Amino acid sequence: MPRTVLITGGAGFIGAHLATQLLEQGDHVRVLDSLHPQVHRGGERPDYLPEDVELVVGDVRDGDAVRKALVGVDRVAHLAARVGVGQSMYEISEYTSVNGVGTGVLLEALLDHPVERLIVASSMSVYGEGLYVDEAGNPVPSADRRRADLEAGRWEPVGEQGQALTPVATPETKAPTLSSVYALGKYDQERLCLMFGSAYKVPTVALRFFNAYGPWQALSNPYTGVLAIFASRLLNGRPPLVFEDGEQKRDFVSVHDVARACSLALAADSSADGQVVNVGSGESITVNEISSQLAGILGKQDIAPEVTGKFRVGDIRHCFADVSLAEQVLGYAPQVSLQQGMTELAAWLEGQVAVDEVDAATAELTSRGLTV
């Protein structure tokens, strides 16, 4: 039987891909989105959002708009959020309001419009540093980096006695270390939703997305995913700006896999209910390597990245996903290899116009002492 699914923030990159997959399954899809100009230049409905998607333009903090969007809805995917670690460190009230208050407004509205299921988009940023083990292979509870070390260009976390540590795949059992306003807000969102689900018997799942990439990313948003930022620079004939030494490891996951994980979590009878679940590729790659691969597929091999040797407050060194829980409770396994995903991204990038705002964003962070 067709369901009606509301996706908050559904005109965005991940939301639109989820909407597309749900339509293909025969669901009716409604989207609530503010069409924020940082993501949607001109504040207009994006061309990539399928015509069959019902769009309600409104702010998730507007109770009337949220209640209107919930009429007749069976399930909710809560993706609405301000996104970006760096920007969150100085637009503190805005990020706290949209991500925290917006979630609260949605949950209050759900009291009068009960739904069958709720999923919420969280982020790998809640982990802070990923999981590390010591020389004996024992997990290290905390591997936070000291600012004095960063200022001296010592990028790798070390143990309490200065011993070397090795990054390993990060499971959901790793305790959160909230190193940015954005991370705090995402943790707030996931805990609010899981608390609500438990109290009101609404099956709820929090999905911690790793570095999603693919078509429809907002190329002109300097606080979006690193691949989109690098692509914007390369398309404008400028070198990608790489912080630290570029050897930090990340997990890049295709947006198609992310959307599929969301769809699985929205399905009935999920053993993931009440849990947080990683959504990643389960593979790691350095920022230098991903920059080189992107330049290659765009035919921009002659543009070498600019390795700045600087760090940004709130950034972490290594974090990549252990996705075994997602396989166990959702039946999720990544299907798009990095090579396949990068090839698709390159095809979409042909003809795209990107306004490069990276220099201005970097200058803003520097002026506030957030890069050193």
CB atoms within 10 A of CB 141: 10
Assess contact for 317 and 157: CB atoms under 8 A: yes
- φ and ψ at 81, to 5 degrees? -170, 155
Element (H, E) at 20: helix 13-24
Which residues are CB-contacts of 167 (< 8 A; sequence separation ≥ 6)?
Answer: 130, 131, 132, 249, 284, 317, 318, 319, 320
Element (H, E) at 290: helix 287-297
Residue 68's alpha-carbon distances to 56, 60, 78, 118, 160, in angstroms, are 8, 11, 15, 17, 53
**Exposure b/e, 346-363, CB count within 10 A at least 16 = b:** beebeeeebebbbeebbe
Assess contact for 270 and 340: CB atoms under 8 A: no
Set 95, 127, 132, 182: catalytic member = 182
Active site residue 182: yes
User: Mind telling me the catalytic residues?
Assistant: 182
